[in-house]
């Protein structure tokens, strides 16, 4: 009994192990140096362009990762940096070094980098056209959808006349209206804008209507007690209370508008990233098509991030209640 008490009272020596997070933090940049070594020293199975530029790019990414790791700024991004480094190294080995996948359908990292180095002007011009087309159509549709949604949620007479057409036309996929839009509207650019406005306007209208209708009636009663009129109730009570639902509709509308953008550019609007993809596919320039897909993904996630920032700024008074 005494020996047990003595052993319990004796402090145990702690074994200090290197934290797993620290291992990932420093391993993530090093993987990119490994990828650069593989790219530079392992001979290619074919004459792929931009091999030197790709190896240099990997070294720059690895060096930047080391700087971020040393400064403590890499943090939770380290696992993603590690995964991307392993992914690019694997892609390089599978395709550029061993050529296991059929060409030209599957390119190499060198092919993708070469597109950005040699065709960046056309890609940039297509990106600007797509952004202009998307922003105009999405903004117009979101504004109209917001106005219609407020009217549906506030006015019984407005809802009586607008709800049936909205219920009839709104759920239709805008893609189904593409041939009709190009016949009725003489300009393919305006037709694309109209369809993107429809794609974004319907979810914004429905969720704005839901938000306005869900505002607690006690807020209206308190405002009326203090002498508020209808305009004040709409602008200062109904709309602020409905804003979380409005932003959900705007996020849904952005995704729908982006899908409509690609279809419109492929089938009618002779500019933008969708048109660039169709041109690349027609010439079997698959690396160009993959580069356009990457630019599309970055554009969409960038716009989503901007919308999240706007939401956080507008709804700063509801910051603790936001869960998405």
Secondary structure of 211-225 as H, E, C letters: HHHCCCHHHHHHHHH
- Which of 71, 105, 139 is the C-terminal boundary of a domain? 105
Determine if residue 285 is left, alpha or beta; phi over 0 gives left, psi from -120 to 50 gives alpha, anything else beta: beta
- Nearest CA to 150 out of 202, 210, 196 is that of 210
Instruction: Give per-residue pLDDT as tens, 255-279.
Output: 999 988 888 888 777 788 988 998 8
> Does 172 map to a domain?
yes
Which band of pLDDT confidence, cut at 50, 70 and 90, is reported for residue 4? very low
- Which of 105, 138, 158 is the C-terminal boundary of a domain? 105
**Is the C-alpha dihedral spanning 16, 20, 25, 26 positive or negative?**
positive
> Does 115 map to a domain?
no
Expressed in angstroms, the distance from the first to the final Cα of the chain is 57
Total number of domains in the chain: 2
* pTM for this model (two decimals): 0.83
Instruction: Give per-residue pLDDT as tens, 220-244.
Output: 888 888 888 888 889 888 999 899 9
> Does 253 map to a domain?
yes
Kindly state the helix (H) or strand (E) to which residue 12 belongs, with its residue range.
Answer: none
Instruction: Take residue 160 and report the two structure tokens written for it.
Output: 């009586």
Q: Which domain holds residue 68?
A: 20-105
Residues 53 and 140 in one domain: no
Under a CB-based contact definition with an 8 Å cutoff, are residues 105 and 273 in contact?
no
Residues 155 and 287 in one domain: yes
> Does 4 map to a domain?
no
Residues 27 and 87 in one domain: yes
Residues 137 and 280 in one domain: yes
d(CA 300, CA 115): 20
């Amino acid at each position: 009994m005494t020996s047990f008490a003595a052993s319990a009272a004796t402090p145990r020596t702690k074994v200090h192990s290197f934290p797993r997070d620290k291992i990932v933090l420093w391993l993530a940049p090093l993987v990119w140096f490994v990828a650069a070594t593989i790219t530079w020293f392992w001979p290619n199975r074919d004459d792929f362009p931009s091999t030197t530029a790709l190896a240099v790019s990997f070294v720059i990414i690895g060096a930047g990762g080391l700087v971020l790791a040393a400064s403590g700024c890499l943090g939770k991004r380290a696992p993603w940096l590690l995964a991307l480094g392993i992914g690019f190294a694997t892609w390089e080995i599978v395709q550029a070094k061993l050529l296991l996948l059929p060409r030209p359908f599957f390119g190499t990292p060198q092919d993708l980098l070469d597109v950005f180095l040699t065709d960046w002007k056309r890609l940039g011009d297509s990106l600007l056209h797509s952004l202009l087309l998307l922003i105009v159509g999405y903004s117009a549709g979101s504004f109209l959808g917001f106005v219609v949604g407020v009217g549906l949620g506030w006015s019984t007479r407005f809802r009586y006349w607008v709800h049936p057409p909205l219920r009839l036309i709104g759920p239709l996929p805008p893609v189904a209206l593409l041939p009709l839009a190009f016949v009725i509207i003489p300009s393919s650019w305006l037709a694309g804008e109209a369809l993107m406005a429809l794609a974004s306007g319907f979810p914004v209208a429905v969720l704005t209507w839901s938000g306005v209708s869900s505002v607690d009636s006690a807020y209206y009663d308190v405002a009326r007690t203090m002498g508020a009129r209808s305009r004040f109730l709409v602008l200062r009570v109904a709309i602020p209370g409905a804003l979380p639902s409005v932003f959900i509709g705007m996020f849904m509308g952005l995704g729908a508008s982006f899908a409509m953008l690609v279809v419109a550019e492929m089938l009618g609007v002779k500019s933008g990233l969708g048109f660039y993809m169709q041109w690349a596919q027609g010439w079997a320039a698959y690396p160009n098509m993959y580069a356009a897909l990457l630019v599309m993904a970055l554009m969409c996630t960038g716009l989503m991030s901007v919308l999240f920032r706007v939401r956080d700024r507008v709804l700063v008074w509801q910051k603790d209640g936001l869960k998405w």
